[in-house]
Amino acid sequence: MDGRTTVRYLQDYIKRKDYHPELLKDYFLKLSEEVGELSRAMRKGAKAENAQEIKGTIDEEVWDVIYYAIAIANLYDIDLEQVIKVKAEMNQSRYPSSVIFEENR
């Protein structure tokens, strides 16, 4: 394993693990809850000292926010890799930058 994880893999992993269209509102509520927990961890400056001690830290809460955002994308059958590309192009035209999004990276 090279240590890289693609957005497509994350979507597939989360869809296999946690796909319940009937719970859409619950997924959104969990996302909102996790954003609050992230805010609390940020206020405390709670950063994990190592990968095994992430409980209640910014590290853990960022992942929880990503997890539920991806779970919601899955319920709407959104291809996040495609959306990222399109949105990067939109943002580049609105907010030009010398940093260009590169596909397949």
**Model pTM score:** 0.89
What are the tens digits of pLDDT across the range 61-86? Answer: 999 999 999 999 999 999 999 999 99
Residue 27: CB atoms within 10 A of its CB come to 20
What HEC string does 41-83 produce? HHHHCCCCCCCCCCCCCHHHHHHHHHHHHHHHHHHCCCCHHHH
Residue 61: CB atoms within 10 A of its CB come to 21
Give the three-state DSSP class for 86: helix
What are the tens digits of pLDDT across the range 9-57? Answer: 999 999 999 999 999 999 999 999 999 999 999 999 989 888 788 888 9
What are the tens digits of pLDDT across the range 10-20? Answer: 999 999 999 99
**Which has the closest alpha carbon to 30: 14, 43, 16?**
14
> Is the distance from CB of 17 to CB of 76 less than 8 angstroms?
no
